[in-house]
């Protein structure tokens, strides 16, 4: 995979991931919080180690959600100028960040590996049953 880097819609917020870092997983999330945050039917999250992720820009805002679905707090960073969601930091999974895949400069390498919160998915969205599809969150590993 090429270097992972990206930006918000207006370009004020940029990020990069250290060269040679492969995503730990790429998760499609159908939860209602992601639906509200993205304005779309689901979010696509490229998960990388937090230590390899570098966020830049002076318009980074943060909003913490604790939903009925996720139970534990999720820190959501976004651009306060244009509103693009950039990453989610899950307190339940320390040490990782979940990059919102649509903000990547090059999305050609994005390949989902699991789908979660399928019980909340829109009825017209088809899951890819070749992946792990979970009614709720990822099973504890």
Q: Which residues bind Zn ion (CB under 5 A)?
A: 8, 10, 12, 29, 31, 34, 79, 81-82
Burial of 133 (0-12, 13-18, 19+ CB in 10 A): middle
> Residue 92 Cβ, how far from Zn ion at the closest point, in Å?
12
> Considering beta carbons, is residue 25 or 82 the nearer one to Zn ion?
82
> Residue 137 Cβ, how far from Zn ion at the closest point, in Å?
9
> Considering beta carbons, is residue 12 or 21 the nearer one to Zn ion?
12
CA nearest neighbour of 5 among 74, 53, 43: 53
> Residue 82 Cβ, how far from Zn ion at the closest point, in Å?
3
> Considering beta carbons, is residue 21 or 136 the nearer one to Zn ion?
136
> Considering beta carbons, is residue 79 or 99 the nearer one to Zn ion?
79
Residue 13: other Cβ atoms inside 10 A: 26
Backbone angles phi, psi at 135, to 5 degrees: -65, -35
> Residue 73 Cβ, how far from Zn ion at the closest point, in Å?
13
Residue 49: other Cβ atoms inside 10 A: 15
Name the pairing type of β-strands 132-133 and 114-116: parallel
Q: Is the dihedral of CA 15, 68, 66, 25 positive or negative?
A: negative
């Amino acid at each position: 995979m090429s270097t992972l880097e990206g930006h918000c819609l207006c370009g004020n917020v940029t990020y990069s991931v250290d060269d040679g870092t492969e995503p730990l997983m790429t998760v499609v999330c159908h939860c209602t919080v992601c639906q509200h945050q993205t304005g779309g039917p689901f979010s696509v999250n490229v998960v990388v180690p937090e230590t390899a992720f570098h966020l830049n820009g002076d318009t980074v805002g943060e909003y913490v959600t604790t939903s009925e679905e996720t139970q534990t707090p999720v820190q959501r960073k976004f651009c306060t100028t244009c509103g693009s969601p950039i990453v989610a930091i899950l307190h339940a999974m320390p040490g990782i960040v979940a990059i919102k895949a649509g903000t990547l400069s090059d999305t050609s390498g994005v390949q989902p590996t699991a789908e979660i919160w399928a019980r909340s998915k829109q009825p017209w969205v088809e899951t890819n049953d070749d992946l792990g599809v979970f009614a709720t969150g990822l099973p504890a590993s």
